[in-house]
Amino acid sequence: MDFPSTATPAHRAFIRQAIETLSVDARIVGLACSGSYSEDALDAFSDLDLVVAVAADCYGAVENERLDIVASLGELLSAFTGEHVGEPRLVIALYGPDGLHVDFKFVEVEDAADRVDEPTVLWERDNQLSDALKTGVGAYPRLDEQWVEDRFWTWIHYCAGKIGRGEYFEATDFLGFLRGQVLGPLALQQAGFEARGVRKIEHLLPEFADRLRQTVAQPEKMQLQAATEHAIVLYKAMRSPDVMACTRAEQVALKALRTI
């Protein structure tokens, strides 16, 4: 089979083994790979994002056996399900001997149409996975800018309280939340990219990434206050004129931050 030119020997060997093993299980009707693989952007640090398509009438049984199936594909070092990232269908695995990270999403084949990107089909039975993919289009959800504005100033007020109370590590974590959920996605979306947190923002938007660094702070009051104020500057510079500003909430949040 053809691999992306940047696929490493470890990527290639694992995919071959996965196809060989999964194709003999009649309940599994297809295997695809998304993420960096389908974007031809693999490198030595890339994980594999595999979609395992299962016949609908067999999904319950396969779901119960996911960890055993994952263990059958190589030297499994660790595996666990993805409830902590809001995706219970996911199995996150690490394989030896040198550490290959593989994410498996087990789905009923018809549900493969509901996706955020366009995976590459690696193997399938009777075109079932390809046919399912044709019924939908991979699209990463857009960030709702009004949704952000409706929450942003309450979040800032919360952060001010953490700084004022001396809970500096919580405030530090919160600034990371703002970068990943607001500032990065807004900047990427407005530049025409998918709003994927701060993923690859150093490469996609290097000038903005330099400004974003000013929102990173040590867990100390003055640094945290300055970083939060800079986050506000970045946000207001990107806030669309079409958004209905929460003016009174903004005033109260700014006052709280500046009087701690």
Report the pLDDT value the prediction gives residue 115, as an integer from 0 to 100: 84
CB 246 within 8 A of CB 150: yes
Report residue 113's pLDDT band, with 50, 70 and 90 as the boundaries: confident
- The CATH fold assigned to 9-133 is Beta Polymerase; domain 2 (3.30.460)
Q: Kindly write down the DSSP assignment for every residue of 50-68, as one continuous string.
A: EEEEE-GGGHHHHHHTHHH
Amino acid 183: pLDDT = 98
Question: Phi/psi zone of residue 194: left (φ > 0), alpha (ψ -120 to 50 degrees), beta?
Answer: beta
- Structural domain boundaries in the chain: 9-133, 145-258
* CATH superfamily entry for domain 145-258: Nucleotidyltransferases  domain 2 (1.20.120.330)
- Collapsing DSSP to helix, strand or coil, 78 comes out as strand
Percent of the chain at pLDDT > 90 equals: 85
Helical segments of 65-143, H only: 66-71, 128-133
Q: Supply the pTM of this predicted model.
A: 0.83
* Cβ(119)–Cβ(105) below 8 Å: no
User: In the structure, how many helices (H) and strands (E) does the chain have?
Assistant: 11, 6
Q: Is the pLDDT of residue 84 over 80?
A: yes
Diameter over CA atoms, the chain? 66
